[in-house]
Chain A
């Protein structure tokens, strides 16, 4: 039987054409690098039954099952669905949202990256756009997920407040601060907010919980790491509200949708339309949502690398 194959439709549904006739690698929908035991067992069974008994791990936390035959397409989809596994997408749309383990298990993380990845995925996954658009989420400054590679990179951060009553004046926060923002004098801690990069290392290393923490986000815009390499830019300072984060993400995707050429990437679209113009949109959303203005110095001090 000669199947009429629409490759664009298959690609949209996560079926990646192999060089071998009628064979495809099926990309699996993974959110935040998280797969449960039932999903893994299901994928294993499908790879064994329809493929060659192995999978390929992609560069962005997805998983592909190679050697799927076009004639088995419906049976494969049905088998996967029984185990809670769905195909992913490829092509010009919102792709896999990647994430580190986050605060669920990691002591460094400032935010729950998996919950956030699920939320981002629920809102944007597979949205049709002129080009591809990628979200990446990392829990802290250690940046295990390398978020600046993504079109929209989210990094966990936190604002801290010293609690004098709990403090034993051990000086560990001073030792661990990489911005030299903390001083200890006569048993009292002073934090220089003009230097603080909101990394949260002071609170993390405090042996007596003498810091209150308010989690938030640092966002990088326009990263890409394929044919062309661009590091995502910081445009706004520390974001304290989830609502601000989502409004910035909504506006970023809309900007890309409105202005991008076919096959474009976010940063090249921004370059063409004007960085100033894009920065102004982000600035205005930030100010309205967070309730305060900011300066270049506020953005400068949260630059990564400290």
Chain B
């Protein structure tokens, strides 16, 4: 299950705080086409707890959460069709 997943776009949300974290990630997601993958670079703690769940509640598919072991995580999310 550890095969490499290639991201089409990357957004860095380490420079903003909740609730702007998800807003910035969501705006980035809007630019993608269905089936493309977004890499979200974020801080541990609140963003890490809330952003993956918010994407799920938004109907997107979370593929992976990678611990960069430097206090940041990369979340890979695949854009789904609008429901």
Question: A175 contacts the other chain (Cβ, under 8 Å)?
Answer: yes
The answer to whether B62 and A207 touch across the interface, beta carbons within 8 angstroms, is yes
Number of A-B residue pairs, CB cutoff 8 Å, is 37
The answer to whether B49 and A168 touch across the interface, beta carbons within 8 angstroms, is no
| Cβ < 8 Å to A, chain B residues 23-79 | 48-49, 52-53, 55-57, 61-65, 67
Q: CA A208 – CA B80 in complex, angstroms?
A: 13
Number of A positions contacting B (CB below 8 A): 15
The answer to whether A171 and B57 touch across the interface, beta carbons within 8 angstroms, is no
Q: CA A252 – CA B22 in complex, angstroms?
A: 46
Contacts of B67 in A (CB 8 A): 171
In whole Å, how far is A261's beta carbon from the nearest beta carbon of chain B? Answer: 49
Evaluate whether A187 and B62 lie within 8 angstroms (CB atoms) in the complex, with A172-B49, A205-B49 already known: no
Contacts of B64 in A (CB 8 A): 168, 170
Q: CA A175 – CA B67 in complex, angstroms?
A: 12
Which chain A residue has the least Cβ–Cβ distance from B77? A207
In whole Å, how far is A168's beta carbon from the nearest beta carbon of chain B? Answer: 6
Which chain B residue has the least Cβ–Cβ distance from A187? B1
Question: A176 contacts the other chain (Cβ, under 8 Å)?
Answer: yes
Chain A 107-118 against B: per-residue CB contact (8 Å), 1 yes, 0 no? 100000000000
Question: A169 contacts the other chain (Cβ, under 8 Å)?
Answer: yes
Number of B positions contacting A (CB below 8 A): 14
The answer to whether B1 and A172 touch across the interface, beta carbons within 8 angstroms, is no
Q: CA A209 – CA B52 in complex, angstroms?
A: 11
Evaluate whether A168 and B53 lie within 8 angstroms (CB atoms) in the complex, with A175-B48, A187-B1 already known: no
In whole Å, how far is A166's beta carbon from the nearest beta carbon of chain B? Answer: 11
The answer to whether B63 and A168 touch across the interface, beta carbons within 8 angstroms, is yes
Q: Which of A169, A175, A207 contacts B1 (CB 8 A)?
A: A169
In whole Å, how far is A178's beta carbon from the nearest beta carbon of chain B? Answer: 12
Residues of B within 8 A of A (CB): 1, 48-49, 52-53, 55-57, 61-65, 67
Residues of A within 8 A of B (CB): 107, 168-172, 175-176, 187, 204-209
The 5 closest A-B pairs by CB, nearest first: A170-B65, A207-B62, A207-B52, A207-B56, A168-B64
| CB-defined A-B contacts under 8 Å, sample of 20 | A168-B63, A170-B52, A170-B64, A170-B65, A171-B67, A172-B48, A172-B52, A172-B65, A175-B48, A175-B49, A176-B49, A204-B53, A205-B52, A206-B56, A207-B52, A207-B53, A207-B55, A207-B65, A208-B61, A209-B56
